Amino acid sequence: MAGSRYAYTRTFELPDPLLPTTFFVIRLDGKGFHGFSKAHDFDKPNDVKALELMNMAAKRTMEGKELMGECVIGFGESDEYSFVFKRSCKLHGRRQSKLVTLVTSLFTSAYVFLWPSYFPNSPLQLDELPVFDGRIVQYSTELEVKDYLRWRQVDTHINNMYNTCFWALVLEGGMTAQEANKELSGTISSQKQELLFSRFGINYNNLPPMFRKGSVLVWEDEPTPAPIEAASEPEAVEPSSSSTSAEPSPSASPAPLLTPDGRPRRNKKLDKKTVKPKRRVIVVHEDLIGESWWEEGGRGAGILQG
């Protein structure tokens, strides 16, 4: 209770605000996902359903009312996801502990909630639950944020190429894990590509972009529905002699209001209904390393300037 003699214990809680006007990134990593993926029989080297589940959990995290649209871009690969917040973000007073625990719990709860949609025949096991840890890092410039995302995308490429070779050697080449690791030790990218193509007929560049480049989450405006147009004016009909003296039917529509010159008055409310576009998060698999994605005309142009 506030004002009690025990309230002094609150003074032990230290403030932990981030620096003002800095970008910050919250990165989540799966804890013990090697055992988790094995227990739930994930496909190797990449499980499409598992990656799509990560993307949808991240999408729910970004779009949720809890973050109030303050996260401007996300990037995911394997069992990790990064969320970039704009420098003007004041959510929860920019307290580190509040922010990192909020995003971690949001993502994890969304992952668990969505699990049955992607793995309906594989219930979560109590001794192998999806667990994520989180960290928060600040960056002072747009270039540093871009380079952070480039670093994560390069890491995606390196890890995926190694894992693709490793599992090809194990699953198709009949090697043990130790033999496959020894075979790949010291090899460079071009050698791994040659190994995949010459031994297994796999062109690495033809693998799905989600595997090679990771997943990028960005905001876009939803398509605006077409405006509602006013009904066209009814054609004039010559009254017949038998109907001029007839009483109007009780169910007939009321006569339209007329302008001073005798034309039907238009209902401006029906002419055009202005709808404010809503924003949504979409998932793309595009190259963040080159400058074209960030320059004018690219999807990432101005994304860090809000």
Binding residues, by number, are 29-30, 78-79
Give the C-alpha separation, 230 to 226, whole Å.
13
Mark the binding-site residues for Mg(2+), compressed into ranges. Answer: 29-30, 79
Q: Is 204 helix (H, G, I), strand (E, B) or coil?
A: helix
217 with 58: CB under 8 angstroms?
yes
* Contacts of residue 187, Cβ cutoff 8 Å, sequence gap at least 6: 165, 195
Mark the binding-site residues for GTP, compressed into ranges. Answer: 78-79
Region of residue 159 (left: phi > 0; alpha: psi -120 to 50; beta: else): alpha
DSSP secondary-structure letter at 125? B
288 with 150: CB under 8 angstroms?
yes
Q: Is 156 helix (H, G, I), strand (E, B) or coil?
A: helix
Q: In what order do the strands lie in the sheet with 80-85?
A: 132-139, 23-30, 80-85, 71-77, 215-221, 279-284
